Structure 1
């Protein structure tokens, strides 16, 4: 029993120190980061903050899109991630997807911006399969994975 209690205490200590900042505690994020965030994302709603090694991440909604923004301690925006449905995807990419993967529906899109590079991971589906397709802003498509749907 003592061993079990000791193991439980050690695990709790590890999880406590490895955990991000409690959600919704922007007072623990420095003023440079908060200022940069408020300037870039003026319509952000439901903002929660997490701290990881050398990175502060805000998770929030803006214009009905779930987003994440990552900052360094100096308030420099490092990366943004946006999650949305196919209706918000660039028309040129949608056109190329429809041509290369006819009959497949765009289930979701993950858009990542980092170092002036924008990339998209697009989840397509048809009656039997899921397709994971990567694209750049020019619509250069690459099939990353394809697998059977488990929801059928």
Structure 2
């Protein structure tokens, strides 16, 4: 019997990009704790803030279908779709901030933006670098063609 294949369409969400549920429920304020502070994001991305988020930034998403209150939405441009077209929808769905490379009037009216010089994908890479730099966790790489998932599950 064949196993059902998992969908290749997965949201960009992991335990690393999400605060514990008890902190993210009900729209926390920035002062109550967040995954990222505005200052850290601006520094990591070399971006310019337009507007001010009123929620704690508690997660990261690149898909408007997975947005939760307080998420940072990254408007990534792909081959067929441009995330910039979805910024107003992401902010309306509860995103606390959108990372963009260009600003339109509709985006500006929708909510707070972090404008980056390069593209938002580069901003995501820089956010990842900053997260790793501030982490005191021991990082281990498991490579090879066999056993990676089993090893990960045992850890």
Sort the TM-score into its range (normalised by shorter chain). under 0.3
Which structure has more strand as a fraction of its residues? 1
Which structure has more helix as a fraction of its residues? 2
Instruction: Give TM-score scaled by structure 1 length.
Output: 0.23
Instruction: Give TM-score scaled by structure 2 length.
Output: 0.22
Report which structure shows greater RCO (CA 8 Å, sep ≥6). 2
